[in-house]
Structure 1
């Protein structure tokens, strides 16, 4: 592979000249007398965004392509070439109002596939030119298919500046039905199947005090082509139906109506906004006790402009995997209890919510302090708050689809019977960096259960140079993995002096291990992978996993690597029974 080189100005000019000559030679070979270098006046009409430094006009007979008006294109390169793409512009194909041809952007710039930087300049230009001619030669069926395939792109081109964006929480079910909407914190419009679901989502997201209204979701039989996009209220009425609009209409208020389509097996949404006459106008000629009928109210929007609005999907299937996560349905029905919400437990809680786990229970007695910020998932706004309360609020705000995050500001040993009963119903219990007393208390509690839930026990060693995660799928005990001093029997490092591995906080007698978020993340990722494997039943027997960091650093910092720690930066896994 040839490395890129930085050139001086003289070298640059010579390089540009070389590429220009190469391109013009290729054009002459492929299209003799069918091209010329673009004039300065022609360069000036090309889109400014192209920053074209050189361009060529290529002429061809109209019979060469199916597009009815195009008989020439411009091929342009900018100053960054060859480390940028040649661009092809067909000014005659530029869309005026609605798009007339697929993959034609503003000013006639064609959206084409990329070429390889390493290919000869002339070959790259000829490849782009042929791609452009193939695009302009689409037959009517191909044109329609491409318009439908990129429906959202063409719909968004008509969205006016200042139009609010829509967020869809709608369940992807192909059925015409009434839905609800409200205005979000930043002015976006939130759509959901029903008021209960919308209010629940908004509560998690920290949005309150918003009025909820009804509207209609319609699934047309086919994805609309650009010339079929509704332009006036009467077009919308024809699509949705007068009766389906009338009952949602509020005098003088804009009504966003949602259109749903299925594309490649996944739902996509767009909305169109219509607005009828003012309340004052609608009262004319009607008594207050007998207002104008809804079917007549709808008539006032028929000749008014219908405004397109873009909608982004915010439903769980999209947020947690963009419709291709095969495990989401299973994970969304799982509940996980995390004992210990410090540095490791905090990241695990957020990671599980991000993966789509539906319910979390958080157990930790401590509050967040300034010294925690360097390696905790929570930020400065939560200083002084209980970690479980802050973590619960942050997770619900960031991932509002989560069904529940319960908080227990307590050590595990002091939980009430009712709390323990609820926790016993968890699909998995995680012990994240807690002390020996809590670990043994969990052991004793597990022994009282007929069918204890699986447990994952995870922690790090000194300087986070090694970490461990063990999955107990049966009645195994943590105590069996510890020596008489409560030390893990299969440690990866040893020989540390307490003065080397713990630092005292000035003036308060509290000590801590000096490592940061980067150091511990490999253990966090390993633990989360094991947790997910347990939840998805990917492992059938209890297992241990270990992360080995930099072996040389163990020695440098005054420790001794165990025999098993014979290589750096790797993860090892084995059945628990092998111990």
Structure 2
């Protein structure tokens, strides 16, 4: 007897010595039924246990045999009952073994025999009141002994409506070979001859019982046939079923002959009542003569199983089509997250090849060196998620940005040209705009940034990174973003990982990137999964999000996890120059205040006012962002019929804005109002703007905004009821006439 078994015996003796304890030890047998197994025979006093009509009538004293393993308490004991009347009851396996624990992890070694006996007494109480299927005790399907020589069989296809008849019936599963070992059921058939159109598939007959099978299935072919007959499925019907299956599978000579049995769940169990459990039997001849060959069945039908990631943010991915641009340190793990979460299809785009240096942080192998990343990643993910359609594209991501038929675009390239192309195509294209997630990593991999544009949002990655930078310039807790992305002064040392033309990149390990990629992606999925909720009354729905995570490291001990949200800008088009103008709603508020002040100073209400526009213009994306509207520059004049600007001091005046926002907000143009009249540029307005762009050496362009509207529209805007009319126009140096 081992020390652990001796401990178990002593604990049972102490339990039996407790006053009024229902436990008595009859004897301890050191004749081991298996090597290292000790038997202790217990008598449980059940004379005071209440019995209900639906329960099992207990004897005054029930006998149980506790089997203790050599390494107790680290392995839970088994408990057997010699009384056959418990056979077929929930949690009674093979007629005599009582299963008290759902899994080995449910066993609490610290509770020892005290916890074990308490569990056994609970089982007896539940048996007496007929509630063995209650949640207080473990619940699992009937048990079949599986053989390592066969299967497993994975069942994903849900039972169709026509197969939900409560009577005893049979049908067929449509099964494919995943590889030499794994089988997968991908559909249901009423006629096995349908298989003739699919020579790469084979049919598996299913007998659906009309009542629960009990808690154990037969352990040999003869007992299986007898059990089916007992349920009303005759031997003749079984023979016809197997013959029809063999004939149907003749198109696939290598198809095995498998018989599946489905059983409803017992009453009181929170599980589907029709084919709640599936088991399968591999047969090579008449099942009565066949050797035991139960196949391990993994039942993944939605009605019979709960995904381990259920109710988590990644659940949004299930069934979606996703385009991943870049299969590197961020894109590759995100693609794997998508595959594991059940994406319907993944398109993987990367022009690069696997190099030895990237193995420190990207999920590739040494044997992959020299091969295209996209192709290697696709092959790897096929082994992870064979149900996901994977398309590798070994080409430039710039050529793949027009992809309207996907549910999500992930830009993990950290490539400015790709971001600019995405930005331009998003506003110029007429196609559907799917959500766009852009991600990047800081210089030392202790900072991660993601931006998310929802469908219909006014901007993409360039837009949102800029918006995040502006927010960081106004929030001291986000200074890390400015210092990492736009260091001042700029870094003088560039991290070049390999000699030659490899891209300057960032320093980071696989653990750094795993933490950043998962945190950012989970945050973005959380947003995507919650966007269906209506915003509070009086609030606009955010359409653009910025996610910042700072991973604690030795270099930066403090962590950070922030989510910022913004509503859409007001969008106008300059069709003359093919630019999109995006005006922050705060600009309208500032201009309205100035217009109200001008109207108050002039009884006619016709005095114009104006000022400078601060923002940014992106020549590649062809977007102009208007972030702020400033008042009249010094020594400018306004009257009822004209507005004159002194622009000589503007650049110096707004230099601080440019430095503070690391170049994101600077002077980009002028604005003025046309009270009670049309928002349109006069010849004097055009001359003024050409003077601005020609008078500032190095100024690439200037933007003009004119706020106006007829009398009714103007008064409605001043009253806060609606937006004014808005004229937008870009001007370029040396431009004499409007561009056609």
CA distance in 2, matches of 1:226, 1:192: 27
**1:438 match:** 418
Bigger drift between 432-441 and 344-353 goes to 432-441
**C-alpha contact (below 8 Å) 1:550/1:569 kept by paired residues:** yes
**1:519 match:** 512
CA distance in 2, matches of 1:160, 1:316: 26
TM-aligned CA distance change 1:220 to 1:499, over 3 Å: farther
- Kindly report which structure 2 residues correspond to 1:67-466, keeping only aligned pairs within 5 A, or say none: 71-74=62-65, 84=74, 87=77, 89-90=79-80, 92-93=82-83, 102-104=90-92, 110-112=98-100, 123-124=114-115, 127-128=118-119, 130-131=121-122, 133-134=124-125, 138=128, 152-154=141-143, 156-157=144-145, 159-160=146-147, 162-173=149-160, 175=163, 177-193=171-187, 211-225=200-214, 229=218, 231-233=223-225, 236=228, 239=233, 241-242=237-238, 243-250=240-247, 255-261=257-263, 263=265, 264-266=270-272, 267-276=276-285, 307-313=293-299, 321=307, 324=310, 331-402=317-388, 404-413=389-398, 415=399, 421=402, 423-450=403-430, 451-466=432-447
**2:661 match:** none
CA distance in 2, matches of 1:18, 1:408: 63
Q: How far has the Cα of 1:36 moved from its partner?
A: 4.7
**1:293 match:** none
Q: How far has the Cα of 1:254 moved from its partner?
A: 5.7
Unaligned runs of 5+ in 2: 49-55, 164-169, 190-197, 474-480, 533-541, 568-583, 585-626, 628-740
What SS does structure 1 have at the residue aligned with 2:531?
A: coil
Q: How far has the Cα of 1:458 moved from its partner?
A: 0.7
**C-alpha contact (below 8 Å) 1:94/1:106 kept by paired residues:** no
CA distance in 1, matches of 2:543, 2:525: 14
TM-score normalised by the chain length of structure 1? 0.69
Which of 549, 557, 560 in structure 2 is aligned with 1:570? 560
User: Greater relative contact order: 1 or 2 (C-alpha under 8 angstroms, separation 6 or more)?
Assistant: 1
TM-score normalised by the chain length of structure 2? 0.56
CA-atom RMSD, angstroms?
Answer: 4.7
**1:290 match:** none
1:183-221 Cα deviation digits (max 9, x unpaired):
4523344333279xxxxxxxxxxxxx9853223334322
CA distance in 2, matches of 1:255, 1:364: 44
**2:13 match:** 24
**1:532 match:** 525
Bigger drift between 318-327 and 494-503 goes to 318-327
1:318-342 Cα deviation digits (max 9, x unpaired):
8982695598996444222222111
CA distance in 2, matches of 1:72, 1:508: 79
CA distance in 1, matches of 2:527, 2:11: 59
Q: How far has the Cα of 1:410 moved from its partner?
A: 2.1
Unaligned runs of 5+ in 1: 1-11, 196-208, 277-299, 555-566
What SS does structure 1 have at the residue aligned with 2:411?
A: strand
CA distance in 2, matches of 1:384, 1:464: 26
**C-alpha contact (below 8 Å) 2:159/2:188 kept by paired residues:** no
Rg: which structure is higher? 2
**C-alpha contact (below 8 Å) 1:232/1:303 kept by paired residues:** no
**C-alpha contact (below 8 Å) 2:349/2:393 kept by paired residues:** yes
Q: How far has the Cα of 1:471 moved from its partner?
A: 1.1
Q: How far has the Cα of 1:352 moved from its partner?
A: 1.3
**C-alpha contact (below 8 Å) 2:78/2:97 kept by paired residues:** yes
**1:491 match:** 482
Q: How many residue pairs align between the two structures? A: 497
What SS does structure 2 have at the residue aligned with 1:546?
A: strand
Q: How far has the Cα of 1:443 moved from its partner?
A: 1.6
1:412-471 Cα deviation digits (max 9, x unpaired):
33x2xxx555x1222222211422122112222223113533311110111101110011
TM-aligned CA distance change 1:269 to 1:495, over 3 Å: farther
Q: How far has the Cα of 1:239 moved from its partner?
A: 3.2
TM-aligned CA distance change 1:382 to 1:514, over 3 Å: same
1:216-255 Cα deviation digits (max 9, x unpaired):
3343222312577573557658538455443212599862
TM-aligned CA distance change 1:435 to 1:44, over 3 Å: same
TM-aligned CA distance change 1:495 to 1:534, over 3 Å: same
What SS does structure 2 have at the residue aligned with 1:464?
A: coil
